[in-house]
Structure 1
Amino acid sequence: MSWADVKKLDINAKHPKRSQFPVTRVALLSEMVEECLRLDVLFIIDIKCYDIRAVSAVLALYEKFPKMYEMALISSFNPQVVYERQGPSQRRFDNPLRHLGASLCDVLLRPLYMTVLPYLLGLSVLLLEKDSITQRAVARARELELRMVAWTVNEPVEKEFLVHHLGVPYLTDALADDRILAKGQ
């Protein structure tokens, strides 16, 4: 869709309580950043695919809003996004052989995720798939002074276990039980 078409959408159109909300338009990323900073809200920008334009746009936001260094977290499944955090460079994946080599390196580097890589990449937070979080991983992250966040946790029992037994916050698509969980604290 073009931005002109996206701007016309009402993101509350299918919300179950849409009658309680005014028409709400899709915000530009820069508008969302400004609002989060204005409200003093911590936020995550999750870059879903590697595109140098996305990386450059986010880096430009950090230049425009230095407070983002305190308030924002960048996440991505693609390690290239993390590698590009200091600024755009040549893409690793243009050539199929280079792509294969880079992918192999990512597999070989996996054992280093909880050892050397946090220091080399300047990581402060690890976003891990919920089923890969163990007590040992949580302890190791704390030793490295890394915060750990689980994704995507939608079941109440999983939320309870992560928060109350492992001390790990989570990302969720289901907020309904969170009020019940909060009352139990």
Structure 2
Amino acid sequence: MNTLGERLRHLRGEQSQVEFGVAIGVNINTLRNYERDVRSPSADTLSEICIKTNTSPLWLLLGEGPMRLEGGSETLPAKTPNESRFDATTPSNDACGGTQEKIRELRRENTELRRECSELRTENQRLSRELSDANKDLINTSKELLQTTRENADLRVELTEIKSRAAPDTIPAEEPTRKSA
């Protein structure tokens, strides 16, 4: 199981999507999108799923470690979607095998990646503006070159006409040949 969606389908087992969605407090269409890896659940939703199914967050997120927390069963606990997830059954960080620390680490990494992404977007926008300006300059230069080429062609035509008009008047007479004496 390589994806979160595949692990959610495995976790659901034989239960229908409707039953599983109600048990974990998620709309059926949302659950379908999660299982098809079209959308990813929020951190709160993932936490809710882990708590209500006694599933290891590390396994659900990354596919690592055991699927169930120690002492867990293969069936969903009898809880309603409106129950608080912060009750006596909420697993501690130790019970999760340090998963909370891993989540904090991933959140820090996520924050850093978002910052880098924002910087890259800003740089991309700057480069796009520069490229746009360079393209405008290139277009203007191309227009000037085209205009110069047209003017050059017009001048060549005019020069040819002038030469053709001047040619009949300037035909040199044949020079007499000299005979040697």
Structure-2-length-normalised TM-score: 0.27
| Higher-strand-fraction structure | 1
Q: Which has more radius of gyration? A: 2
Structure-1-length-normalised TM-score: 0.27
| Higher-helix-fraction structure | 2
Identify the structure with bigger relative contact order (alpha carbons < 8 Å, sequence gap 6+): 2
